[in-house]
Amino acid sequence: MTADTSARYREFKMPDVGEGLTEAEILKWYVQPGDTVVDGQVVCEVETAKAAVELPIPYDGVVHALRFDEGTTVDVGASIITVDVAPGTPSEAPAAAASATEPEAEAEAAEPKGRQPVLVGYGVSEASTKRRPRRGAAAVPEQGAATAAIQAEMNGVPAPAALSRPLAKPPVRKLAKDLGVDLATITPTGPDGIITREDVHAATAPAPSPQAAPVAEPVPAPVATAPAVAGRETRIPVKGVRKATAAAMVGSAFTAPHVTEFVTVDVTRTMRLVEELKSDKDMAGVRVNPLLLVAKALLVAIKRHPDVNATWDEAAQEIVLKHYVNLGIAAATPRGLLVPNIKDAHDKTLPQLAESLGELVSTAREGKTTPAAMQGGTVTITNVGVFGVDTGTPILNPGESAILAVGAIKLQPWVHKGKVKPRQVTTLALSFDHRLVDGELGSKVLADIAAILEQPKRLITWG
């Protein structure tokens, strides 16, 4: 009797670890063929455009095969590991994941929904994931809309057409909105069914006159790339966080009209307060530094000028005022620039804010920041002073209204009480979206932050 190999061998597919992401890079395998695994055990770490995430296996068994090497970028829905869930039973080895059979899909469909792979910190969401179209994928049988979506996700095939979403990058979606083009009506020409900017522009172009004869355009000759001289150049693939950061910065710089204002301020009293707080028993166990008081000053300024805490909704042509502050902190990490945020920072006391700030920075440096921690930010602080520079012109985090850059704190000659004295001075720079924030509002916010850092007792009188 032939054993049922489709029931014995389970293919664990790359899940969507973010919001509609289509691929992830395998950073590290924690298991090898022959290792025993249990339900919920982390088997690998993957990196998306948003974060590094550990993936747990959803069943018990013995690792039969790893489908991809470390460093490989894998499409969402592709099988990455095969597990023998009935070791010791004589049977033939399973076929490669690329030629998964229909019985295998049926076996996975028979698994209870409670066994659906769950990512750490996410939980099961039946409608949050999107799948890249898979070539040669089996069709999903007729069933209810919700059941069909779940079945499609578990089988690694696209959801039914009624629930699927056209694949396009955020800048392309923005372009389509600006031009009034419905992405669902466009035939994609990009790789793997992705709609490109050229597809959107083509959809808005008028139909050619039937009498007009096509005019052949000269095909430009390919630009020759000079071969790199050994030892003089290094080419680094753009992927993961670096790729996402580049796209976000370009999108922000060419979407939101940036204005940056500067102010130089005497922060000698703030630095004294920092030293006093370090010995305060209420601040025991948390890190106290100038960034903590800068963050508190920004929160107080937003409380005094709430209109600065907003976002621009291009589709609805509305300004959305946020009655909460999710404070982003730009963090330089080995994986690139990350901007996780402290949720509801406006409600936190100074010790609570210090604790959240410390956890956020340490988690980012360890590479453990989750995608959820980088979503929903409203304003951001970037501390370029740690690199010894005076300040900069920061670019807005997409979807946010303002970003504050803090420069290096240096001992400089300063006129204090009519005399030139050495004082601790820094320069602040506030960039804001001029669609949301006019010059008066932006100036008042920056002036308030400077005033608080010059006289930190205003944290009490204004807060």
Catalytic machinery residues = 434
Those residues with Cβ within 8 angstroms of residue 280's Cβ, 6 or more apart along the chain or in another chain: none
Give the Cα separation of 85 and 90 in Å (integer).
12
H/E run at residue 264 = strand 258-266
d(CA 157, CA 109): 12
The residue type of 195 is: I
Joined together, the tokens standing for residue 25 give 């890079």
Judge contact between 452 and 295, C-beta under 8 A.
no
Helices (H), 33-169: 102-110, 145-155
Question: 61 - beta bridge partners?
Answer: 37
Which of 218, 339, 240, 354 lies closest to 286 in space, CA to CA?
354
Dihedral of CA atoms 264, 268, 273, 274 in degrees, nearest 10, equals 70
The DSSP annotation for 165-234 comes to --EE-HHHHHHHHHHT--GGG----SGGGEEPHHHHHHHHSPPPPTTSPPPPPPPPPPPPPPPPPTTT--
What whole-number distance in Å separates Cα of residue 93 and Cα of residue 3? 11
